[in-house]
Every structure is written in C-alpha cells, then in structure tokens.
Amino acid sequence: MAKSYVIAARRSPIAPRNGAFAAMSLADLARPIVLQVLADAHLTPADVGELIVSNALGAGGNPARIVALGAGLQERVAGLSVDRQCAGGLDALLIADALIRAGQHDVVIAGGVESYSRRPLRAQTFADGRPSAPYDQAPFTPWPDRDPDMAAAADDLARMLDISKADQDALAVQSHARARAASHPELTPLAGISRDPFTRDLTLRHCDRAPVVSGTITAANMAVAADGAAFVVMVSERIAAKLGARAVAFVAGCTVGADPELPGIAPIAAIETVLAKAALTPADLLRAEVMEAFAVQAIACQKGAQLPEHIVNPQGGALAWGHPVGASGAVLAARLYHHLCQTNGAGLAAIAAAGGIGTAIVLRAD
C-alpha cells in the first residue's frame, strides 16, 4: 500500500492570549511557518497540492483558504479547514495521509493555527424573542447535563482516578523545567519572538498560590490559552525518494470517540488502537508527545495507556508553553518529527478534545 512521509515540520513560539501575538491574524501567524516548512523541504509554493488547516476558535469561512492565499500558494490550492477542537491539528495529518495514499496529491501541508486573542465574540439566539446571550464554550453534546466545563471535567477525572493536586503541580513544575532545559529545533521565530514566552521557573510555591479554577485544577496545572501555529509537509513515497530528504514515515493514525463526560482520557483508546494498527507496544516507542491541556489529563493518559514515563514529553509540554487549541496537535507532531530525525525508531503523538474525542498517530524513522 502507498505510504506518506513527513519531510519537514515547524511551529511558531506559543504565546499566551493577549500577549506577543495578540494583533496577528490567522494568516499572519501561519504564513511564516508554512513558508519555512516549504523551505526546509526544498519545495516551492507551486509544488503544493493541498493545505489542511485545523482551527477551532475562528469564525468559520474556511480559514485554510485564507492561509493558502496569504502564504502565496497557487490559487488552485483550495484549502481544507478542520474543526475537531483540540484534536484537529493531528486530524489534519490523518487527512493528509489519506489524500496521499489515495493518489490525490503528492505534496500536502497539514497543521493548525489559532488566535485565542482574536477569536470572535459568540452569542446564542432564541426563537422566543429573548435577547441574544453571549457564550464562551460551544456545546459539544446535545445533552447539557453531559457537556461539562473542561476544567470541571478535569477535576472530576482527578477525583475518579485519585490523582492529587500535589501530583498535578509536580508535573507542571517538571514540564516547565524540562522545557527550559531543552532545545527546540522545531521552533521558527515569529514577530521577533524566538522562544516560548510563557515558559518559566515554576516552583511548587508558585503552584500553591495559583488561582483555583475548579477543585484541584488551578492556573498553574492547566495549560494557558494561547496563540500559535504549526505545520508539517507530507509527501508521497515518490516525492520523498526524489528529494532525498530525511523522511519520517506516517505509520498509522486514528481518531476515536469516548465518554463525553470524561474527555481527558479519550486518547487512551486512540493510543491502544493506533499501536495495534502499527503492530507496536508501548515499550517499542522511543518518544511520546502527549498533550498537557491539564496535568491530570496527561498523567491519566500516560498511566492508562501504559506509556513508559521516561519517554513522555521529556522536553516539556503544553503546561510549559500553552494551548493554541486548533494548533496543539500539530505542535506535538512537529516536536515528534524533529526527535525522530535524530534517531531510528517509532514515536507517538496523542491528544484529547472536548466532547470525548481522542486522536493518536505513530511516526517512524528508519
């Protein structure tokens, strides 16, 4: 069967909302990253067959088309927008893989971009004539009593699995420390910013003083809302061989639905499914990039999927830089790609999304 390969991957710095990137549009955030991955791949805009963009908080209207035109891709590149909330950045890669294996395109750029700072205001309307009412979180199920606030759902998960606030705070401190100590070759400077500005010397004392969001969930042990972009170049086997680039194979990927009241552990089923598809066990993996939207969610997924602790986010995670919702999955993929470029073997990226959705992919470098 035909295969697809990742041959380049980059991300922007991740900046908290209303921070360094607050004035930038989706096209402004995405353009430099799209052009950088093309340059890394030794390709031109004319080589691109399709651009797939995950975006969760925008106003619709096919953001991918805006990004494609803004980045100077040819007009024939229509752009395909994906909204699976947090999981969309990895789902963009799954779609790119399917298009390439089906012979539709030889070169696809896939990833995500999010401006939390410039997300539109939303209001619910009513048929009975009541005034419209603003809302922040869109509904993710048809049942209000089974559609929890994300922080409240994370606290429920902590109680269910007996994961203490101390455990969550310890992971947050570790994530910042690892991110500060690591190099980040996947990062492309943007608007004069060359590092993730949120990453800091977090301590347990800071965690003790952090504002409580819901129960054991605090501002310190959950990822900050953020702006950013990340993209990869995926190509057919023919193009990978022609370019002679360091190609990392897209081995398998899947998205699964799970209990919408416990969205944080949805990736466990996705991880188990994708490892089975790839004929791998957790012990076979060199690296796992697991989303840290909440510390409790990352702990639960690592333990529930039986991932060796030392391979999970050894260079930090989203607790240390933030959560640009639609782009976060692509950030994980970019980080995984750059690690696998330095070695041979398989790696995993996995993420949870509101509504009880989990996505996971396996990449391999040989």
Mean pLDDT, rounded, for 260-274: 96
Q: Dihedral sign, CA of 332, 274, 99, 140?
A: negative
For the stretch 199-253, pLDDT in tens is 999 999 999 999 999 999 999 999 999 999 999 999 999 999 999 777 999 999 9
Q: Tell me, what's the pLDDT at 145?
A: 87
For the stretch 318-335, pLDDT in tens is 999 999 999 999 999 999
Q: Tell me, what's the pLDDT at 60?
A: 82
Cα separations in angstroms, 239 against 40, 116, 236, 337, 342: 14, 36, 5, 18, 21
The whole-angstrom separation of Cα 361 and Cα 211 is 34
The full set of domain ranges for the chain reads: 4-119+222-365
Residues that are catalytic: 86, 323
pLDDT confidence of 1, banded at 50, 70, 90? low
CATH 3.40.47.10 applies to domain 4-119+222-365: yes
For the stretch 121-172, pLDDT in tens is 889 999 998 999 998 888 888 998 888 899 999 999 999 999 999 999 999 9
